[in-house]
Each structure stands twice: as structure tokens, then as C-alpha cells.
Amino acid sequence: MERTAKVAALQFNITLGDVDANVEYAREALARVAADGCQLAVLPEMWSTGYDYKRLNELAKRTPEVVEEMGRLSAQHGMVIVGSLPEPHEERVCNTAYILDRGKLVGKYRKIHLFSLMGEDRSIHGGDSWVVVDTHIGRIGVFICYDLRFPELCRRLAVEGAEIIVVPAEWPKPREEHWRALLKARAIENQLFVVAANCCGVQGKLDFFGQSLIIGPKGEFLAEGGYENCELTATLDFSAMENWRQQITCFPDRKPQYY
């Protein structure tokens, strides 16, 4: 039986530290993609606050109300919503992706790999487990931004049955080509769909280039964003994914006992 899902990546310039402004933008963007028939929407990394390190612990106290609002919108629009937020955790915060399915929190993933080059490991508490969840559109795996550079994590999600990998990110210049190449590689080597939402615009010393992507299991770009605020959408055909897996039998041919 043919199975499809229309999905969206929401790309926008996060207003550093302004939870109200970012939630309002997300609310309006979600309404637009819902009206376009989307069943899944992915928001960028730390989309409610950005990396406002000086105030992150204080701003994280508002995350429960943000998650509650995302749950309300998820129920209202009948869709899956995923995006990462600062989650209060002891003396620091976790960079946590929340997965909401038609109003219900079905899972959350705490970013495992922290970007030490930018000091993320000094302010963020790292996660210690992968996440794959069942939703009404299919089985979804999650990783966040820098996790993209660690292919073992994505392979684990694929082996656990993920059909779609969602990637909230704040990936800055000048590493655009790495972003595109690594996302494409994760889709090809795991024969699944990737929906990656990057932010855009300038935050402090960092310049974020956008270029959010929706990629098919052969590595084809189904939709790609530019450098400005946008919502990109595409329809995922799971039957085509299964057909491709039957043609190129990477999973049955694996020899994990040797590596």
C-alpha cells in the first residue's frame, strides 16, 4: 500500500534570548505549513532562545511552557513537531529535541555530541541515549547539529527502524559544504529520508547560512532553503524508499561482526 507524508523544515533567524518573539514566529510558520498539508514540521536547534549562554539557565525555565504551546499547536494542526530547546538540568541545561505527535509528547532526545570548539560542553549537559519513536506518519529518529559528524549515531537510528531522520541545527559559516555533504551521506548510506532545519542570520559573532534540506534515500535533494527565512516542504514516498532498499540491499549485506 502506498504511504506518503508531506513534511516541512522551518528555517528562520532566531532572535537571541527572545522567547516570545521566537515562539510567535514558529506559531505563524507552523500555521502556514499546516495549511499546506504538512504532517511533520522540524524547527532549528535551540530555536526558542539561540545560544544565549549568559542567560541560558534562566531562559530554560520557560521551556516547559514552550513545550506546552508546541503540544497545543501539534494537536491543533494534527501534526508532528520536532525542535530542540534548552531543558533545565541541575546546574546546567540539556540541548533537548522534543517530539510532539498530535498533542502528545512521544519522546525527547538530549544532544550527545557537544561542540567543544565553541564551549558547548562547558554550559550544556550531554545526553547518553539515542531516540527513535513511532509517530502517526512513521518511525522517526533524531539527532542535533554536531551529531551529524558522527555517522555511528545515524546508523544506530537506521538499524532501529527509523524511516525519517530529523535534524534541528545551528550550523554556521564557513562550513556549508560539510553540512550538505554530510546530510546527503547520512541519507544515502542509511537509505532513508532526512529533514534538516538550520537557522539563518547573524547571532553575535556567528553567521548562520540556512540551506535547510529535505533529502531522499538515494541522496536526492527534495527541497532546499536559501539564506533567508523560509519554509521548505516535500512529500516523502515510503514505498519508493522500500523499493530502493530492495534494489540496493545494504542492510541485509551488512557484516557488523567485523567492524
Residues belonging to the active site: 45, 111, 145
Cell numbers of 47, please? 530555536
In a 13 Å sphere around the CA of 219, the CA atoms on its Cβ side amount to 8
The span from the first CA to the last CA of the chain, in angstroms, equals 36
* Peptide bond connecting 172 to the previous residue in cis, omega within 30 degrees of 0: no
Task: State which amino acid sits at residue 232.
Answer: L
* Peptide bond connecting 174 to the previous residue in cis, omega within 30 degrees of 0: yes
Strand 104-110, strand 92-101: pairing: antiparallel
- Return the H-helix or E-strand segment holding 198: strand 193-198
Task: State which amino acid sits at residue 254.
Answer: R
Sign of CA pseudo-dihedral 97, 90, 52, 170: negative
DSSP string, 126-181: PP----EEEETTEEEEE--GGGGG-HHHHHHHHHTT-SEEEEEE--BTT-HHHHHH
Task: State which amino acid sits at residue 165.
Answer: I
